[in-house]
Amino acid sequence: DVILMESGGDLVQPGGSLRLSCRASGFSFSDYAMSWVRQAPGKGLEWVSGVRGSDGIRYHADSVKGRFTISRDTSTSTLSLQMNGLRVDDTAIYYCAKSSVGDYIESMDVWGKGTTVIVSS
């Protein structure tokens, strides 16, 4: 079975940092693009960051550029999201997701259960 399991969500103060992890299993991790997608309370889905499987090129949404960094470790099949300079509006459930084919970051067929990040003083 293809499984994605997120961890690292927590309560953090504004301006703080957090690192999310997503452990993948059941597929060839380096063959697929991976993404982080979030949903703030009462809001819609927002794509946050993605990394291509073929070449590791990384992309970030404008809302997190310069603050968040996506990375992957193909030796442990782990996707990470380093979140710095956290703001109240970063509060959300963060999902890890796998592309359905190759480097199509926006087509995500397997999702984790999500990990909750709360930014509050």
Partner 1 sequence: QSVLTQPPSASGTPGQRVTLSCSGSNSNIGILTVHWYQKLPGTAPKLLIRHNDQRPSGVPDRFSGSKSGTSASLAINGLQSEDEADYYCAAWDDRLRGAVFGGGTKLTVL
Among 51, 112, 117, 119, contact with partner 1 (rule: CB under 8 A): 112
Contact characters 30-69, partner 1, x per CB under 8 A: -----x-x-x----xxxx--x--------xxxx-------
Q: What is the 3-state secondary structure (H, E, C) of the chain?
A: CCEEEEECCCEECCCCCEEEEEEEECCCHHHCCEEEEEECCCCCEEEEEEECCCCCCEEECCCCCCCEEEEEECCCCEEEEEECCCCHHHCEEEEEEEECCCCCCCCEEEECCCEEEEECC
Residue 1 contacts partner 1 per CB under 8 A = no
Q: Which of these segments, 23-31, 66-74, 78-86, 108-116, binds partner 1 (CB under 8 A)?
A: 108-116
Distance (Å, whole) CA 91 – CA 39: 8
Residue 73 contacts partner 1 per CB under 8 A = no
Among 7, 26, 74, 109, contact with partner 1 (rule: CB under 8 A): 109
Residues that bind partner 1 (CB under 8 A): 35, 37, 39, 44-47, 50, 59-62, 95, 97, 100-101, 104-109, 111-114
